[in-house]
Chain A
């Protein structure tokens, strides 16, 4: 069952979905928040310990951020679909 159908049924039942959608996005942002924090922290540590490897670490860090961040961004899109 798609999200929009769920949203329509909720609207028909008189349930206000907005607060719930916002709350769900907040919950969905916890994991990526922890993930990006840990990832960037470890990358900074790696760059500080081995400055000559900074370029390689930076590329990999952005790659990791992109993958982790996708979860939060999918949550953001779901927020608009469910609203």
Chain B
């Protein structure tokens, strides 16, 4: 009987009915999470923008975040001239983190990044910014040369390397940037749904059965694991945005 538990189809796990409006302009749970995450991110910028000597509350969090992004991401990947990108990377980090963390907030329990629209838009924003800053740094033709031509290769090898560099830098890079965030969060959400479905099926069979430790404890354990994943994926997305910016504006050739 337990083996007969049906996993809900994927559309039931990630699609939500609209509260207001119709298909394209409707507002459903995911859109509400976007708004909440955007407001929370703005609040960190507004409330954190105090200049007390002894920081309290939001200023504390904002200072830790600035220090973490500057030392851990910007200085490691871009260098000192990348410091002007710190606000961008901080807003990436917090917006993605808040969108992710709703995966384990009770009652809501839906990561907004498990719909591909949000990771796609964010990685396209990053795409425009890193190629744009590369063009600004090197000039349009200089940037194409900088991006596609690997220095120090024999002449004939360029016919092989330039197409590979083009495909990897201009096509695969934004795709993998998107899919990394999207698929991680979708996988985590499906994992939680699987064990929650199993627990509730056992509960329906008889409340005593829920003390069967596996599914119920697995939900708790995976919730803790998803907290880690939420932070880590926000960090990885931001780190990669930093790496791509750094590669676009570097001068080492």
List chain A positions with a Cβ less than 8 A from chain B.
55-56, 59, 62-63, 65-66, 69-70, 73-74, 76-77, 80
What are the residues of chain B within 8 A of A55 when measuring CB–CB?
72, 76
Given contacts A56-B76, A76-B187, A80-B10, are A62 and B239 in contact (CB under 8 A)? Answer: yes
Q: Is B184 an interface residue (CB 8 A)?
A: yes
What are the residues of chain B within 8 A of A73 when measuring CB–CB?
179-180, 183-184, 187
Minimum-distance CB pairs A-B, first 3: A73-B183, A70-B176, A66-B236
> Is A63 touching B10 in the complex (CB atoms < 8 A)?
no
Q: How many B residues have CB within 8 A of the partner chain?
A: 19
**A72 to chain B: closest residue by CB:** B183
Shortest distance in angstroms between B119's beta carbon and chain A's nearest beta carbon? 11
> Is B180 touching A63 in the complex (CB atoms < 8 A)?
no
Partner of B180, one of A59, A70, A80: A70
Q: Is B235 an interface residue (CB 8 A)?
A: yes
CA distance A69 to B176 in the complex (A): 10
Shortest distance in angstroms between A56's beta carbon and chain B's nearest beta carbon? 7
CA distance A34 to B231 in the complex (A): 24
Instruction: Identify whether the interface residues of A are mostly helix, strand, loop, or mixed.
Output: helix
What is the count of residue pairs linking A and B with beta-carbon distances less than 8 angstroms? 40
Partner of A77, one of B76, B179, B232, B236: B179
Seed contacts A55-B76, A74-B183; 20 additional CB < 8 Å A-B pairs: A55-B72, A59-B73, A59-B76, A59-B77, A62-B235, A62-B236, A62-B239, A63-B243, A66-B180, A66-B236, A66-B239, A69-B184, A70-B179, A70-B180, A73-B180, A73-B183, A76-B183, A76-B187, A77-B179, A77-B182
What are the residues of chain A within 8 A of B176 when measuring CB–CB?
70, 74
CA distance A65 to B179 in the complex (A): 14
Q: Is B147 an interface residue (CB 8 A)?
A: no
Residues of chain B from 215 to 252 with CB closer than 8 A to chain A in the complex: 232, 235-236, 239-240, 243
> Is B183 touching A77 in the complex (CB atoms < 8 A)?
yes
Shortest distance in angstroms between A62's beta carbon and chain B's nearest beta carbon? 6
What are the residues of chain A within 8 A of B10 when measuring CB–CB?
80
Shortest distance in angstroms between A66's beta carbon and chain B's nearest beta carbon? 5
**A75 to chain B: closest residue by CB:** B183
Residues of chain B from 60 to 94 with CB closer than 8 A to chain A in the complex: 72-73, 76-77
Most buried by B among A59, A76, A80: A59
Partner of B240, one of A63, A74, A77, A80: A63
What are the residues of chain B within 8 A of A76 when measuring CB–CB?
183, 186-187
Shortest distance in angstroms between A39's beta carbon and chain B's nearest beta carbon? 14
**A67 to chain B: closest residue by CB:** B176
What are the residues of chain A within 8 A of B180 when measuring CB–CB?
66, 69-70, 73
CA distance A55 to B239 in the complex (A): 14
What are the residues of chain A within 8 A of B187 when measuring CB–CB?
73, 76
CA distance A66 to B235 in the complex (A): 10
